[in-house]
Amino acid sequence: MTQYDELTEFLLRLGDSALIQAQRLCEWTGRAPAIEEEMGMMNVGLDLVGQARNWYEYAAERINDGTDADVLAFRRDERAFRNLLLVEQPNGDFAVTMTKQFFYDAWQFHLLTILKDAKDERISAIATKSLKEVIYHLRRSSQWVERLGDGTDESHQRMEKAIDAVWRFTVELVEKNAAEMALAESGDIPSLAELPEQWLATVNKVFAKATLTVPDAPSTFYLSARTGMHTEYLGILLAEMQFLQRAYPDASW
Amino acid sequence: MSEWTLFEVFIRSKHGLNHKHVGSVHAADAEMAIENARDLYTRRNEGVSIWVVPSAAITATASDEKEPLFDPAEDKVYRHASFYELPDEVGHM
Amino acid sequence: MYAQQVETGVKAVKSLAEMGPEERAFQEKIDAEIKIEAKNWMPDNYRKTLIRQISQHAHSEIVGMLPEGNWVTRAPTLKRKLQLMAKIQDEAGHGLYLYSAMETLGADRDEEIEKLHSGRAKYSSIFNYPTLNWADMGAVGWLVDGAAIVNQVVLQRTSYGPYSRAMIRICKEESFHQRQGYEILLHMMRHGTQAQKDMVQDAINRLWWPSLMMFGPSDAESPNSAQSMAWKIKRHTNDELRQRFIDQTVPQLEILGCTAPDPDLKWNEERGHYDFGEIQWEEFYEVLKGNGPCNRERLETRRNAIQDGAWVREAAVAHANKKQKQQAAA
């Protein structure tokens, strides 16, 4: 399990999270609750794969050993993946999928808003472009959370169950991380100190409209995607996603 | 019975142009109709503005009304600039 | 062709003299290439046939997402993943354009989808074949979309306005699908390993005949063709379109360096067309009846999607109603 420099690790965290979230959206193909939703989910997925590619390309340049975006996506093992634990969780029903999407979108929105002012021009450019897409993602998932939370009794119950199922993984969205603080101190990225409060404020606002309760602060130990300590779901997801690159290492696609 | 309402979708493709009817979407409410229309009809940068209207709210002319509604305009040529003949020396007007 | 067999409910095509004044005016408009619009008078059978044809076409787009969905989670590179996702999304979009055109005829989308799910409505037989290797994503784009495009290009001039406009939009967007598919195959043949080349030939072997079947039964077995052509909701016969497809596809096959699983396929100088072998029509009718390799799975997936999503759609309506009440009260 290679550890790269902190900034590269940070880029991989962004790229991996986008790719894994998109991969989960791809699993919905032909199975969405309405054909209109097929369009919506695929649009979000397309944006995210594009974002992943941009982060990977920058990471690959920094690693500078001949690697490229595809190698980073399709040839690393689960211990090397840095994605949020949240996005690797199975889709469950539409309530779980939308809850995950909303938590992730809110995190992306606030994070990219901060990163668009990064001194590093590459980070700033990718964040600015991605943010335009994520504003729409967040609006869409917020509305779904509101609809399902404040819809029928059944949809409300399903949302409560969904929140209960994935809430513990949001610990990664609100933790203050030493590596990122160091990156901010050295000026590589702007300070992310405000991110946890901003994320929580968005969740509070949308949940209030959705008549949903925000659980107490999550706690977890052992699991941490930053050191490749994933849940068991990621390995299976990668086995599927990376199948062709692994089975035919000499092939060109 | 449809579970969701049928909305007609109108898109302004460029600034300065009229909104043009492009088709319809199903949605639970107007807000969702806008999003669904955006995802469906503007995947290739086709629009700068979207209107949605519940299909049931549209009143249309019936085909058998074509003659009384539109034919009377046919003989009112004086509404068109080309009806007025001016000598060439007037130039473009 | 995505609508392979559309019942017209008409036994013999009427001459103008046999028609009442309304129907004659309608037929004269069609003969003069004037588009029929939603509010215009139209014979009941024209309306019903169009609903059947457009809904078959729309159902095919939606079911057609599934064979590709089978590989979208396994696309080998980020570029290929993006391309395939965009293509699948287009298919959902094209389904929606078509349902939208169909609804102008007074049909209800949910009801027509229910007919599909209960087995009363058809969709293209091609999507009942499994996609078994990555090259299938190329072959589907090249052969299946290629066959569909041959049909759709002529349907742009179909007599019903909303259908014609949907086809124009679809053709414009689909132009990338076939190229995308062919490029996948060409890349594997030119830059790939032997294993990849074998995948390509294997995909072509499996999908060649089913693609030819997409155009529907031969003209002799198409009792509904004459009426559909008189109404100009069909503009060429099945056999004409099939021949056109083969003629344009064989040279592309040769550029790939692959072969078709048809020993009788050869250029006929006299006809100026390729000759080809006998299509296994028994297989076609069996697949259409529901006995193809994936019919059950495809329909079950679609049924489950709609059933499992019922609570979501209901919640959205309930929420919209609540909001409307709040606004009215405010």
Q: State how far the Cα of C37 lies from the Cα of C39, in Å rounded to an integer.
A: 6
pLDDT of residue C271: 97
Q: State how far the Cα of C15 lies from the Cα of C222, in Å rounded to an integer.
A: 20
Residue A252 Cα, gap to closest chain C Cα (Å): 6
Partners of residue B63 in chain C, C-beta under 8 Å? 37, 39-41
Q: Is the pLDDT of residue B65 over 70?
A: no
pLDDT of residue A99: 98
Q: Is the pLDDT of residue C311 over 80?
A: yes
Mutate to test the interface with B, among C54, C62, C97, C100 (most CBs of B within 10 A): C100
In this prediction, does ipTM exceed 0.90?
yes
Burial class (CB in 10 A: 0-12, 13-18, 19+), A207: buried
Q: Please, which residues 157-216 of chain C have a Cβ atom closer than 8 Å to chain A?
A: 184, 187-188, 191-193, 195-196
Q: State how far the Cα of C279 lies from the Cα of C221, in Å rounded to an integer.
A: 13
pLDDT of residue B64: 58
Domain ranges of chain C: 21-329
User: pLDDT band at B75, cuts 50/70/90?
Assistant: low
Q: State how far the Cα of C260 lies from the Cα of C207, in Å rounded to an integer.
A: 10
Partners of residue B4 in chain A, C-beta under 8 Å? 34
Q: Is B25 on the interface with C (CB under 8 A)?
A: yes
Neighbours of A128 (CB within 10 A): 15
- Helices and strands counted in chain C (H then E): 14, 2
Neighbours of C199 (CB within 10 A): 24
Helix (H, G, I), strand (E, B) or coil at C267: strand
Q: Is C312 on the interface with B (CB under 8 A)?
A: no
- pLDDT, averaged in runs of 10, over chain A (253 residues): 86 98 98 96 97 98 96 97 97 98 98 97 97 97 98 98 97 90 93 96 98 92 87 98 98 97
Q: Is the pLDDT of residue B83 over 90?
A: no
Q: Please, which residues 150-179 of chain C have a Cβ atom closer than 8 Å to chain B?
A: 166, 173
Report the CATH number of the C21-329 domain. Answer: 1.20.1260.10
Higher pLDDT, residue C306 or B66: C306
Neighbours of B29 (CB within 10 A): 21
Mean pLDDT of B1-23: 90
Least confident span in B43-47, C26-30, C92-96, C140-144: B43-47
Q: Is B65 on the interface with A (CB under 8 A)?
A: no
Partners of residue A152 in chain C, C-beta under 8 Å? 311, 314-315, 318
Domain ranges of chain A: 6-247
Helix (H, G, I), strand (E, B) or coil at C49: helix
pLDDT of residue A98: 98
User: Nearest chain B Cα to A142, which residue?
Assistant: B32
User: Nearest chain A Cα to C316, which residue?
Assistant: A147
Residue C185 neighbours by CB under 8 Å, 6+ apart: C135, C138, C139, C142, C200, C203, C256, C258
Helix (H, G, I), strand (E, B) or coil at B13: coil
Distances A135 to A45, A143, C201 between C-alpha atoms, Å = 14, 12, 45
Higher pLDDT, residue C185 or C225: C185
Angle at C23 between CA C22 and CA C29, to 5 degrees: 95
| Amino acid making up residue A143 | Q
Average pLDDT, chain B: 84
Report the CATH number of the A6-247 domain. Answer: 1.20.1260.10
pLDDT of residue B87: 79
Q: Do B40 and C37 touch (CB under 8 A)?
A: no
In sequence order, the β-bridge partners of residue C36 are: C160
Q: Is the pLDDT of residue B11 over 80?
A: yes
Average pLDDT, chain C: 95
Residue % of chain B over a pLDDT of 90: 49
Least confident span in A59-63, A187-191, B41-45, C246-250: B41-45
Residue A9 neighbours by CB under 8 Å, 6+ apart: A3, A82, A179, A226
Q: Is C74 on the interface with A (CB under 8 A)?
A: yes
pLDDT of residue C70: 98
Q: Do C309 and A146 touch (CB under 8 A)?
A: no
